[in-house]
Chain A
């Protein structure tokens, strides 16, 4: 096997396109997963069964079916109902939605970890429900779960190549396209492998630093 630096150079334009798509999917997907997961977790604490049940059903369903199936569903089935989204948008929504069901569990653990006495103190002070959540419960719950959320960002990064299957060419997708014409798989695959580490490792260091700062 020969290492061909010129193949690396030839791959670079495609590589940067792929990096951009990977980062875009990761950042926007994480934001969706963080926000939607919080909505799921709070809904599961609702006093209304009519809210809790459907949310539990939906999140269990999403968590227990493969991401790839969900991506195909969003990309090929939604257009049947005249909802047409670009491959990248579909990929971002798919990743965000899938991971929101995991972050929901993380938030739930954080919320359950806030002592019952905090809720009772809010009741004793007649605080409305919204204020109880925003001023007392969530600030305490979220600081405990930031490290766990960080782990899911890294997991999402590692799942991001799946969006290439619907044509959103992130790093791996670009590498395969390059290989299809150059017949040189070694260089592009090696380059993107390193790129994954370069993105993931600082993220996991950051997660650990946050853990030291926030979890006491």
Chain B
């Protein structure tokens, strides 16, 4: 995990796609704008395989945009993103870097799973099928195998009794745990968590965080997490990145960031949320 404050070797990377085996996600000089509003400003950072990285910072500082870029829900105006050594929003054709086609993006994206703030379960499918739908129709798993996998995941999130229900019959916390199981059923290398407890009633938050703690400690999955739950961030993170105005202004271990932040802006932010 390292953060470069200055644009450096991105241009060379395009012609030399050598991969450091340990870095799973790499942002190189990524700029994202909405109109004249710069959301990410020449951002460079990478995440090593197996690490749990938490993005913190005020609303509108660009944290969620990073997750949306990784999901290819939005595309960067400048710069490149690599996942497991492959370009995400670009592909190489005849030695040139061009915007990626839908097919290329989809292939690279299969390495990434995402859990949303609003769960986004499919209301027209029962819990079990919510989880098996993509493994069967995207990965080509057999129905039995996919259901076996789904049952194991539901057991892990503590919802074995609910596989025959529709999402609307579950509480918010239960729905979010199903959504976590659904994302994991694709066996992603990276799990993106976008404020996954923000839409939950306070008493349901703990159950969801417990499940995520479990996953963080018992698997080698890489996690990239946007959250306002600072205790949770302290618990699971290897690294914390503090965002402000589209830039990483400070990064380090949770102990460092939460107990002894260097940056004035970080201190202000933490005293407001803690």
Total chain B interface residues with beta-carbon distance under 8 A: 25
Query: Roughly how many angstroms separate A153 CA and B125 CA in the complex, as a whole number?
Result: 29
- Asked if residues A117 and B138 are in contact (CB atoms below 8 Å), the reply is no
B110-124 at interface with A (beta carbon < 8 Å): 110, 112-114, 116, 118, 120-124
Chain B residues lying within 8 Å of A129, measured Cβ to Cβ, are 102
Chain B residues lying within 8 Å of A125, measured Cβ to Cβ, are 133-134, 138, 182-183, 186
- Asked if residues B72 and A120 are in contact (CB atoms below 8 Å), the reply is no
Chain B residues lying within 8 Å of A115, measured Cβ to Cβ, are 118, 120
Tell me if B's interface is mostly helix, strand, loop or mixed: loop
Which of B71, B110, B137 contacts A131 (CB under 8 A)?
B137
A 117-129 to B, binary, CB cutoff 8 A, 1 in contact else 0: 1101101111111
A185-208 at interface with B (beta carbon < 8 Å): none
The yes or no answer to A79 lying at the interface (CB within 8 A) is no
The yes or no answer to B106 lying at the interface (CB within 8 A) is yes
Contact A123-B116, Cβ < 8 Å, known A128-B106, A140-B124: no
- Asked if residues A127 and B138 are in contact (CB atoms below 8 Å), the reply is yes
- Asked if residues A121 and B109 are in contact (CB atoms below 8 Å), the reply is no
Count of A-B contacts judged by CB separation below 8 Å: 59
- Asked if residues B113 and A124 are in contact (CB atoms below 8 Å), the reply is yes
- Asked if residues B137 and A121 are in contact (CB atoms below 8 Å), the reply is no
A 136-148 to B, binary, CB cutoff 8 A, 1 in contact else 0: 1001100100000
Chain B residues lying within 8 Å of A118, measured Cβ to Cβ, are 120, 122
Contact A126-B138, Cβ < 8 Å, known A120-B73, A120-B116, A121-B116: yes
Query: Roughly how many angstroms separate A186 CA and B182 CA in the complex, as a whole number?
Result: 67
Tell me if A's interface is mostly helix, strand, loop or mixed: helix
The yes or no answer to A135 lying at the interface (CB within 8 A) is yes
Chain A residues lying within 8 Å of B125, measured Cβ to Cβ, are 135
Query: Roughly how many angstroms separate A140 CA and B110 CA in the complex, as a whole number?
Result: 25
B130 nearest in chain A by CB position? A121
Query: Roughly how many angstroms separate A126 CA and B122 CA in the complex, as a whole number?
Result: 15
Chain A, interface residues (CB within 8 Å), range: 10 to 19
Query: Roughly how many angstroms separate A143 CA and B166 CA in the complex, as a whole number?
Result: 16
- Asked if residues B134 and A127 are in contact (CB atoms below 8 Å), the reply is yes
Query: Roughly how many angstroms separate A126 CA and B120 CA in the complex, as a whole number?
Result: 14
B115 nearest in chain A by CB position? A124
- Asked if residues A117 and B116 are in contact (CB atoms below 8 Å), the reply is yes
Contact A136-B122, Cβ < 8 Å, known A120-B71, A125-B182, A125-B186: yes
Query: Roughly how many angstroms separate A123 CA and B102 CA in the complex, as a whole number?
Result: 11
B83-124 at interface with A (beta carbon < 8 Å): 102, 106, 109-110, 112-114, 116, 118, 120-124
Q: In angstroms, how far is the closest chain A Cβ from the Cβ of B138?
A: 5
A90-127 at interface with B (beta carbon < 8 Å): 115, 117-118, 120-121, 123-127
- Asked if residues B138 and A128 are in contact (CB atoms below 8 Å), the reply is yes
- Asked if residues B137 and A140 are in contact (CB atoms below 8 Å), the reply is no
B183 nearest in chain A by CB position? A124
Extra 5 A-B pairs, beta carbons < 8 Å, given A118-B120, A126-B138, A127-B137: A124-B183, A125-B138, A125-B182, A125-B186, A126-B110
The 19 sampled A-B contact pairs (Cβ below 8 Å) are A115-B118, A115-B120, A117-B118, A118-B120, A120-B120, A121-B120, A123-B71, A123-B72, A123-B73, A125-B186, A127-B137, A127-B138, A128-B106, A128-B138, A129-B102, A131-B137, A131-B138, A136-B124, A140-B123
Q: Which residues of A contact B (CB under 8 A)?
A: 115, 117-118, 120-121, 123-129, 131, 135-136, 139-140, 143
